[in-house]
Amino acid sequence: MTQEISATRTLDAGLADALTALVARAAAAILAIAPAALATRLKADHTPVTAADEAADAVIADGLARLLPGVAVVSEEGVRRGDAPGDTFALVDPLDGTKEFVAGRDEYTVNVAIIAAGRPIAGFIAAPALGLMFRGIVGRGAERLPLAGGGGAAVAIRCRANPAGPLIAAVSRSHLDPNTTAFLDRLGVTRRITCGSSLKFCRIAEGAADVYPRFSPTSEWDIAAGHAVVTAAGGIMTAPSGAPLPYGRASADFKVPGFVVWGDASRRVDPSPGSLA
């Protein structure tokens, strides 16, 4: 089956299901790699990569070539620096949270996002060790569903708007810095959910957390799928200043300087002195 993204930048149900199945196959490819066969090594940027990252990337690359012929793919494991991807393209992190994966934690994901006109319009996040999939189509809603063979039905998910009481924050296991801590203190956050990978976006999208800040650089493929899922679930994600986050910036090596995710879309970053607004 081959389909293209229409001029209206929407994805029909058939293509959304096909992309969901593709990400599930990538998750299965990760689970099929035995721990003894991971062949973990460091890349030039000193981040780890394993045979599981590469297996998932191969599955996704093959599937996207069939499902979205002619659409550029920017993947963490195959990006060519400086190549501009065009107006519509796919952003892929075949194994987000490799450190957690190698450490034996279940906090890793497979991320695939579709970008149009600089904005994520669809996101697909599989959590292989948890047997879960999260997907969101902007303007059409977000869902949590089991991976293939897991049983059960898809459940619509929604961000928590106007939360009563103190906010709950999702925070990074590896990138929680003093600026982020100070920001959370100003918000009066009393509970933090700590985890790796794009699961933090999923916690916002399903209403388990209210805010997820990160004030250090990261790559577009780490966040695009989560951005789409949160937006589809009624939340918002911006740069720390509150400005929109641009995607497809090949000239910046597909890096963003930071972001804040809010479950309540009416919120913005605190502009008080000392904030990063």
Separation between Cα atoms, residue 203 and residue 206, nearest integer Å = 5
Give the count of alpha carbons within 13 A of 37, CB side only: 11
Give the gyration radius of the chain's Cα atoms: 18
Q: What is the pTM of this model?
A: 0.91
Tokens of 215: 């004030």
143-189 per-position pLDDT tens digit: 999 997 656 789 999 999 888 888 999 998 877 788 888 999 999 89
Q: Give the per-residue pLDDT at 165.
A: 81
Beta sheet of 132-137, edge-to-edge order: 72-75, 88-96, 109-116, 119-127, 132-137, 141-146, 155-157
Q: Environment class of residue 54 by beta-carbon count within 10 Å: exposed (0-12), middle (13-18) or buried (19+)?
A: middle
Separation between Cα atoms, residue 97 and residue 219, nearest integer Å = 13
Please state the φ and ψ torsions of residue 197, each to the nearest 5 degrees. 65, -165
Separation between Cα atoms, residue 104 and residue 169, nearest integer Å = 24
Tokens of 98: 């490799």
Strand partners, 132: 127, 146
| Beta carbons of 102 and 50 less than 8 angstroms apart | yes
Please give the torsion angle defined by the CA atoms of residues 81, 84, 89 and 93, in that order, rounded to the nearest 10 degrees.
10
Q: Give the per-residue pLDDT at 149.
A: 60
Q: Tens-of-pLDDT digits for all 277 residues of the chain?
A: 445 455 335 688 899 999 999 999 999 999 999 888 898 888 877 788 899 999 999 999 999 999 999 899 999 987 655 566 888 999 999 999 888 998 889 999 999 999 999 999 999 999 999 999 999 999 999 999 999 765 678 999 999 988 888 899 999 887 778 888 899 999 989 899 999 899 999 999 999 999 999 998 999 999 999 999 999 999 999 998 889 998 999 989 899 999 999 999 887 655 443 443 3
| Beta carbons of 243 and 141 less than 8 angstroms apart | no
| Beta carbons of 210 and 168 less than 8 angstroms apart | yes
